[in-house]
């Protein structure tokens, strides 16, 4: 069911209305992150209603997370298991979601059970009530995750973060080769772990630091080493083409006077710095697509 504070039940449902279980705690911490082409969901349920807790512990009720995307007609349910009865882990392909994902946490009977609700508002009479599989014990307000900014989900970033124990000193280096599909950002274990954490915890900061710096370096290589004849049919299956397409979409081109600089087409060939171009391009995802060929 979808959370509705005004929906009527014949027994108290935790979390639906403030006065159903006065003074009782029910919170769900939902974490949602993108890893490669997947959305990883983790939800931790916290409640202090003993009668419901004991039903979770004996397996007759379960913590549940169901996710819904209206645009792509996707609804999927993820349940806790007996090893971690108050945690729900879920993984779904990002291909299944457009614009927004609704995440609904709830506690549901998964078999016939008897609910005693002496901890609920006295007005309900204390129970017990017999509930069937599918009946709700607790519902939490949904969270909404916007995924519209992720433009293309069949893709990987042009940057690949790699661990390399050979690198001793702190920091990282970008291995940029126009013949290669990806740009490898190579770091020793400690730096790699720091970057990986930054990428997950604060992706915006990661873009402003690591990726901006890497893209500036990349654009210098692009200006110097790319083959301009190949740009006529970019297929976005390698980083050079991804950059070419993104430049085109932003009306940026490489000056044709041989001076290896970027110019803005709409501003009378106004010259633009590499840093400006990098900042502009990072407003969009720089992803490599699976190659698309003519269908047989």
Partner 1 sequence: MNDVVKPLTDTAHLLLQELAKEQPDLFSCSGTLQEQLEKKLSSSAEEESKIFSEHTKWYPKESLKHLIADVVSGPAHDSEHVKLLRQIFPTFTALEMSDPRVLASLNCFHIADYVKIRWGSSNIATSTEKDKQTRFIKSHYLGRSKESNTIARLWWLYEFALRSSKYSKYDCDTLLEKMAHNVNFYHQILRRSYLMASDRVRAAVLDVAIASGLADANKTSEVTKVMRLLNRKAGGISLDVLSDEELRRHIKESLPPKEGAAPSPQP
Judged by DSSP in three states, 274 sits in helix
Residue 152 or 217 with smaller CB distance to partner 1:
152
CA distance 69 to 258: 49
Long-range contacts of 266-275 (CB under 8 A, 24+ apart): 274/216, 274/219, 274/220, 274/223, 275/216
- Reference 110, options 92, 85, 127, 90; nearest CA is 85
Inter-residue contact 145 to 32 (CB < 8 Å) = yes
CB of 251 vs partner 1, minimal distance in Å: 6
Residue 68 or 172 with smaller CB distance to partner 1:
68
Residue 37 or 160 with smaller CB distance to partner 1:
37
CB of 256 vs partner 1, minimal distance in Å: 20
CA R_g for the chain = 26
CB of 234 vs partner 1, minimal distance in Å: 8
Q: Are strands 74-79 and 100-109 parallel, antiparallel or unpaired?
A: unpaired
Residue 49 or 94 with smaller CB distance to partner 1:
94
Residue 128 or 234 with smaller CB distance to partner 1:
234
CB of 11 vs partner 1, minimal distance in Å: 11
Rule CB under 8 A: which residues touch partner 1? 1-2, 4, 7, 9, 62, 64, 66, 68-77, 79, 95-98, 106, 108, 110, 132-136, 151-154, 234, 236, 245, 248-251, 266, 289, 292-296
> What's the DSSP call for residue 258?
S
CB of 221 vs partner 1, minimal distance in Å: 22
């Amino acid at each position: 069911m979808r959370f509705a504070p005004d929906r009527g039940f014949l027994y108290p449902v935790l979390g639906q209305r403030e006065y159903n279980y006065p003074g009782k705690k029910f919170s769900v911490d939902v974490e949602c992150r993108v890893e490669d082409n997947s959305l990883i969901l983790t939800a931790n349920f916290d409640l202090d209603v003993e009668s419901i807790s004991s039903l979770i512990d004996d397996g007759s009720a379960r913590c549940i997370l169901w996710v819904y995307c209206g645009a792509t007609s996707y609804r999927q349910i993820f349940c806790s298991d007996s090893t971690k009865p108050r945690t729900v882990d879920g993984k779904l392909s990002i291909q299944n979601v457009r614009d927004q994902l609704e995440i609904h946490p709830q506690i549901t009977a998964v078999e016939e059970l008897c609910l005693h609700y002496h901890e609920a508002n006295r007005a309900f009479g204390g129970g017990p009530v017999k509930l069937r599989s599918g009946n709700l014990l607790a519902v939490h307000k949904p969270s909404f995750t916007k995924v519209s900014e992720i433009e293309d989900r069949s893709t990987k970033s042009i940057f690949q973060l790699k661990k390399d124990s050979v690198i001793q000193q702190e920091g990282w280096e970008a291995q940029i080769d126009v013949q290669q599909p990806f740009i490898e950002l190579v770091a020793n274990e400690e730096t790699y772990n720091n970057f990986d954490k930054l990428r997950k915890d604060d992706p915006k900061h990661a873009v402003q630091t690591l990726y901006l710096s890497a893209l500036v370096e990349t654009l210098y290589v692009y200006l110097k080493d790319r083959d301009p004849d190949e740009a006529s049919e970019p297929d976005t299956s390698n980083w050079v083409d991804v950059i070419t397409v993104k430049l085109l979409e932003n009306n940026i081109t490489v000056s044709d006077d041989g001076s290896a600089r970027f110019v803005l087409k709409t501003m009378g060939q106004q010259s633009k710095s590499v840093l400006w171009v990098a900042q502009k391009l990072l407003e969009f995802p720089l992803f490599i697509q699976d190659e698309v060929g003519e269908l047989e």
